[in-house]
A and B are shown apart, each in its own frame.
Chain A
Amino acid sequence: MGDGDRYSIETRGLTKRYGKFTAVDGFDLRVEPGEVYGLLGPNGAGKTTTIKMLCGLLRMTNGEARLLGESVPDKKISSRLGYMPQETALYEGLTAHQNIAFYGRVFGLTRTQINDRERQLLEFVDLTRWRDELVQNLSGGMKHRVSLACALIHQPPLLFLDEPTVGVDPELRASFWEYFDELKAGGVTILITTHYMDEASHCDRVGFMRSGRLIAEGTPQEILREAGASSLEDAFLALSREADRR
């Protein structure tokens, strides 16, 4: 693949098959450094599978992928990736602080680094007050924020967010996008999946995924123009119908 360092994420023919079922079908993706890329599509479109392959959690059946200029899967790259899974994926019996500090240690940070970074993060996600509360006593929205903090403790330049806003109330969703904008301002590349079409307008570019394939890609404005639609939701439906006809 071409000049490796040009893209933060670059895949070619990325494919995942489970027996006869093809979850991701020859997916080509290019995300530039500092870009917020929204991967949109219905459930089962292959968004999560794509992220899991990139993070080394699933073996790819075919194709190749490079992250930050390195060929994946490669464990070495994992210290530069942030991954926020769909599930909250926290230790409910630990406090917010203990959860965050655990990931800090896993990433090999020193105690001082963990403390400094954690203080900033808790402020960032507005959880300073809840630092020493057990996660099981936190609300769903708070858990999501702790989960985000866990994914950011090692200041990764590349961030994978798998449906971070599912089941999150509108207010928190809005603040999540504020966090993401702030991260983007700090130069972080973000790949985010969602099936809330209204969120896509926050992205620099979006890709519509359907049955494991990319059916459209571009800036939100480009997509609207191409589909001749007034909302991304309508655009997606129009593009889906078109894909079906072909």
Chain B
Amino acid sequence: MKAPRFLAVTRRIFLDLKNDKRTLALIFIAPIFAMFVFGLAFSGEVKDVRVEVVNLDKGAPGPVPGTTVSIPEKVLSNIDDETLDLHDEADLDAAIQRVKDGDAYAAIEFPEGLTAGVMAQMQGQPGAGQAEVKLYLDQSNVNVANAVVQELNQALLETSKEAGIEPPVTVDSIAIYGKGAKFIDFFVPGIMSFVVFMLTTLLTLMSFVGERTSGTLVRMLATPLRERDIVMGYAVTFSIIGIVQSSILLAIGILVFDIIIVGNVLLALLVIALLAVVSQALGILLSSMARRESQVIQFFPFIILPVFLLAGIFWPLEAIPSWLRPFSYLVPPTYSVQACRAVMLKGWGISQIWVDIVALLAFAAVFLSLATASLKVRKG
């Protein structure tokens, strides 16, 4: 049996890549680079936030005679010192000034008589008001401000518990999926789609503009190769490359970042291969709009930005304004991100992610037909 003709195209592209060390590096090193850059820098955790602590409280005699209890000290000991970088400051005005000068993000004020007030309240003494800790906060950096507030509240809650004060109602969260998941676990399925989508689209775009401008496309069309054979040859090549790229990302995710994978990795790779087919068809389609290879650069923002913003790679779709969300469903990586996350973090199978697969298949069908048609249009 003779090999299908489109495999000649596949083989040709691979040979081209083999000879072109620079592009080869782009294909295999770029995913690794992206993974480390985003995985390390974009871990989503705020760390080392400088906070001034002004403790005006003197403590109060404890239940055991001769001991002193200090609530501020207990609270401070419950603060995670990786998140907040605490500095003692005696003078409140100086501490606030430091926030104003941008040297610190917040100043925490424990007022005088805090411990005594709390103890009075606990003993139910009449006239004892609500105890207050004041937080002077630079809210201009929302992420940091939220982290400070959250950390302080957490420390107060823990201190209360240690003192035997249980809040009347508590939330007990039981992980149905993703027990102990970190940001990186959420992120790896996203970056897989992002890298494969971006590189596949750009590489096909570039190499296809080359086919058009150098005359090789016309030459191929004068042979028994049909338009669909050429598109198919490219599709097979780039789905293989997509699978290899994702495997590299997964290997780094597992070995370096110790990510959680509870599902079938092969199913996730299949989804990525499908995304690669969609992306290469898009690249071929876009190539009909470029006249020179240098024009390819003009497409970059239009390819990268919508996907970066809308596909739910860095933040969940729920974080996208609701009026914008319908557009998320128009970018193919949205479905592969969703499906890969479900497979890797929730262990879902094909019976649960079929909607995403159908969506990707639909995109593939439409884009492949359009790409094929775009090659025929030339016949004028």
A contact set with B: CB distance below 8 Å = 18, 52, 55-59, 75, 78-79, 81, 83, 85-95, 98, 102-103, 105-108, 134, 150
Contacts and interface: CB of A to CB of B under 8 A. Distances in A.
B214 interface: yes
A83 B224 contact: no
Given A78-B222, A93-B16, A107-B224, 10 more contacts: A56-B222, A75-B224, A88-B215, A89-B218, A94-B12, A102-B11, A106-B5, A106-B8, A106-B223, A134-B19
Given A75-B226, A78-B222, A103-B223, A59 B379 contact: yes
B215 A98 contact: no
Given A89-B214, A91-B216, A94-B16, A55 B222 contact: yes
Contacts of B218: 52, 57, 85, 89
A94 B215 contact: no
A85 B379 contact: no
Interface in B1-23: 2-3, 5, 7-9, 11-12, 15-16, 19-20
A206 to B, nearest CB: 24
B203 to A, nearest CB: 13
Contacts of B9: 106
Nearest to B13: A91
A106 B214 contact: no
A86 B220 CA distance: 14
| Most chain A beta carbons < 10 A, residue from B11, B214, B219, B226 | B219
A89 B379 contact: no
Contacts, number: 80
A133 to B, nearest CB: 11
Contact of A93 (B20, B226, B379): B20
B29 interface: no
- Interface range for B: 20 to 34
B12 A86 contact: no
A92 B213 CA distance: 12
A85 B224 contact: no
A10 B278 CA distance: 43
6 contacts: A56-B222, A57-B221, A57-B379, A85-B219, A87-B215, A94-B15
B222 to A, nearest CB: 4
Given A57-B379, A59-B380, A83 B16 contact: no
Contacts of A58: 379-380
B228 to A, nearest CB: 11
A57 B222 contact: yes
B181 interface: no
Interface string B105-140: 000000000000000000000000000000000000
A174 to B, nearest CB: 25
B325 to A, nearest CB: 43
Contacts of B223: 78-79, 83, 103, 106-107
Contacts of B358: none
Contacts of A78: 222-224
A68 to B, nearest CB: 15
Given A58-B379, A75-B226, A98-B15, A92 B214 contact: yes
A55 B220 CA distance: 11
Given A57-B221, A83-B219, A108 B380 contact: no
